[in-house]
Chains A and B, each alone.
Chain A
Amino acid sequence: MEHYTMNLTLKVWRQKNSQEHGHFETFQVKDISSEMSFLEMFDVLNEQLINEGKEPIAFDHDCREGICGACSMYVDGRAHGPWEKNTVCQLHMRAYKDGDTIVVEPWRSAAFPVIKDLMVDRRAFDRIIEAGGFVSVNTGNAPDANAIPVSKVAADEAFDAAACIGCGACVAACPNGSAALFIGAKVSQLAFLPQGDAERASRVRNMVDQAAKEGFGNCGNIYNCEAECPKGISVGNIAKMKREYMRASVTTGPAGIRE
């Protein structure tokens, strides 16, 4: 792999806090190595801003290995940038060439208000999980792990759904700002497993209802979410969630459902 350096123009969204209006600000960065990660390029820019006595750009990031789900940038019109099945922390600068201009915005969703610059508040996702994205089993209540066999196929399907990192790229990329893939992934994971069976109906109902309350849009089956998901979670999980929902609506009454 040939390494090279480049100079870039960045147009980055700046916003002081959730109350104030934001705007784009343009920056120049020089001598960026093709081996850097996109966030390391932002580190360089921030270092430059600090040295110039300006305030650095706030952005969420933590593990920088594509698993914590903290990083969240809408890069040149794509959630997490141009690479497929990727988080922006794993995007590397060899994706760009000298002289490129890159536009960076925060996730845009009514349910993800901007906190500062590129940082958004994604607690709506936590509240959706709170509504039912778990199995109610107190510590100590569990039977032996091998007491309930689960077919390898079901376990693998459950894993594929469970790989969600909760980054919110699905919402960011969805023209409707829908959280269907996020909900679908969790509902589907637990619907594949016998452990999730007892709360099957209430889980899907409460999670879907919570998402609506949070202000997420409705799934339009456009599938941007699947295309932009860093873990490639399938929209089949959304269909499964819909089946679970309709099933819940014909098999349960209000009893046992947290309203």
Chain B
Amino acid sequence: MTWKQTLTSPVGRKFVMGFTGLFLIAFLIVHAGLNATIFMNDDGATFNAVAGFMSHNWIMRILELGLFIGFAFHIVQGLMLWKMNRAARPVKYSMKRYIPKIKWYSRYMGLLGTLVLLYLVMHLAHFWVHTKDELYFGGSEVNLYERMRDIFTQPLWFVLYMLGLASLLFHLLHGFQSAFQSLGMNDKAWTPLVKKAGVAYSVIIVVLFALMPIAFMAGWLQ
């Protein structure tokens, strides 16, 4: 059995999804943690310093590359699975009824993931593109904090960010515990804890992110 066979098998593909999923979950903690420095309300001084470090330090740039590979795997694999799974039921049921025990969002991971992807594209276009432009193509210096304020105070972007975060919330609510299952970790004693931790994580991360546009919009931050 080669590694290629393993990773292209149904189990291997989900292993990749779970593994990259957990990696991205870890990234979100760092991302949210760093961004939370805006709440120091020092006109973005701390935040900009941190952001500057993250985008200029070479170790961080290598890690960033890893992050992109993680995203790429998660997205490509996810789309491939979605396509394969559609093929597994060529004739659809005319009637579907939800099973009381099952969370609706578990069924829509592909859709939620696509929404999160769109959100990600928008988000990168807003922030990341400019920092790279500055870094590699001699673009003008970016004050990320000000950029945040500019974008989050525009109603259209504000609403789109909220919607994007809602998608992320449901994606995480399923994804967190699902990643453990995909890695083969399911245990009578620990899984209930994993599930609770997943809910706590998803809510905390998403609320934290959501507070950022809200804080700018509401004028809590200067």
Interface residues of A (CB under 8 A from B): 24, 74, 76-78, 103, 105, 108-111, 173, 175-178, 180, 205, 208-209, 211-212, 215-224, 227-228, 235-236, 238-243, 245-246, 248-249, 252-254, 257
Residues in A whose Cβ lies below 8 Å from that of B47: none
Please choose the segment from B81-89, B122-130, B161-169 that sits at the chain A interface, where 4 or more of its residues have CB less than 8 A away: B81-89
Q: How far is the CA of A190 from the CA of B160 in the complex (A)?
A: 50
User: Inside 8 A of B11's CB, which chain A residues have their CB?
Assistant: 208, 241-242, 245-246
Question: Which chain B residues lie closer than 8 Å to A246 at the CB level?
Answer: 6, 11-12, 15, 184
Q: Select B88's contact among A74, A103, A178, A253, beta carbons within 8 Å.
A: A178
- Does B74 touch A at the CB level, under 8 Å? no
Residue of B90, B91, B188 with highest tally of chain A CB at under 10 A: B91
User: Can you list, as one digit per residue, whether each of B160-190 has a CB less than 8 Å from chain A (1) or not (0)?
Assistant: 0000000000000010011001111111100
Structural contact, A248 and B1, CB atoms closer than 8 A: yes
Q: How far is the CA of A254 from the CA of B1 in the complex (A)?
A: 5
Q: 25 A–B contact pairs at CB < 8 A?
A: A74-B93, A105-B94, A105-B95, A109-B88, A109-B89, A175-B85, A177-B89, A178-B10, A205-B1, A209-B9, A211-B10, A215-B88, A217-B85, A220-B85, A221-B177, A222-B106, A224-B99, A238-B186, A241-B184, A242-B15, A243-B184, A246-B15, A248-B1, A249-B6, A257-B1
A173, A211, A239, most chain B CB atoms within 10 A = A239
Inside 8 A of B92's CB, which chain A residues have their CB?
A: 108
| Besides A108-B93, A205-B1, 8 new A-B residue pairs in contact (Cβ under 8 A), listed by A number | A176-B88, A208-B11, A217-B89, A239-B181, A240-B184, A241-B184, A243-B184, A245-B6
Q: Which residues of A contact B188 (CB under 8 A)?
A: 236
How many chain-B residues does the 8 Å CB contact rule pick out? 43
Residue numbers in B under 8 Å from A220 (CB-CB): 81, 85, 106, 109, 178
| Residues in chain B near residue A249, CB distance under 8 A | 1, 3, 5-6, 12
Of the candidates B13, B96, B107, B183, the one whose C-beta lies within 8 Å of that of A222 is B107
A248 to B10, CA, bound (A): 14
Interface contacts (Cβ under 8 Å), in number, total: 134
Chain B residues in 8 Å Cβ range of A211 = 10
* Bound Cα distance from A223 to B92, whole angstroms: 19
Q: B residues within 8 A CB of A76?
A: 95, 97
In the complex the two chains form, is A208's CB within 8 Å of B93's CB?
no
In the assembled complex, which residues on chain B have CB atoms less than 8 Å from the CB atom of A110? 87-90
B102 within 8 A of A: yes
Complex Cα–Cα for A218 and B109 (A):
13
Q: Is the CB of A238 within 8 A of B89?
A: no
With A110-B89, A242-B15 already in contact, the answer to whether A208 and B10 are too (CB < 8 A) is yes
Which chain B residues numbered 55 to 75 have a C-beta less than 8 Å away from chain A?
none
Cα of A254 to Cα of B81 in the assembled complex, Å:
26
Cross-chain contact B1 with A253 (CB below 8 angstroms) = yes
- Which residue of chain B is the closest to A249 with respect to CB atoms? B6
B186 touches A218 (CB 8 A): no
Closest-CB distance, B189 to chain A (whole angstroms): 11
Given A24-B94, A111-B88, do A219 and B186 touch, yes or no (CB 8 Å)?
Answer: no
User: Looking at the complex, which one of A77, A212, A216, A221 makes contact with B93 (CB distance below 8 Å)?
Assistant: A77
Contacts of B90 in A (CB 8 A): 110
- Chain B neighbourhood of A252, CB < 8 A: 1
Task: Give the distance to chain A from B14, nearest Cβ to Cβ, in Å.
Answer: 6
Closest to B97 in A: A77
The reply to whether B181 and A238 form a contact with Cβ atoms under 8 Å apart is yes
Question: What distance in Å separates the Cβ of B181 from its nearest Cβ neighbour in chain A?
Answer: 5
- Chain B 189-221 against A: per-residue CB contact (8 Å), 1 yes, 0 no? 001000000000000000000000000000000
* A105 contacts B93, C-beta separation under 8 Å: yes
Q: Kindly list the 4 A-B residue pairs having the minimum CB-CB distance in the complex, ordered from nearest.
A: A77-B97, A217-B88, A239-B186, A177-B88
A102 nearest in chain B by CB position:
B95
Interface string of B1-24 (1 = CB under 8 A from A): 101011001111111000000000
Q: Which of A173, A224, A241, A249 counts the most chain B CB atoms within 10 A?
A: A249
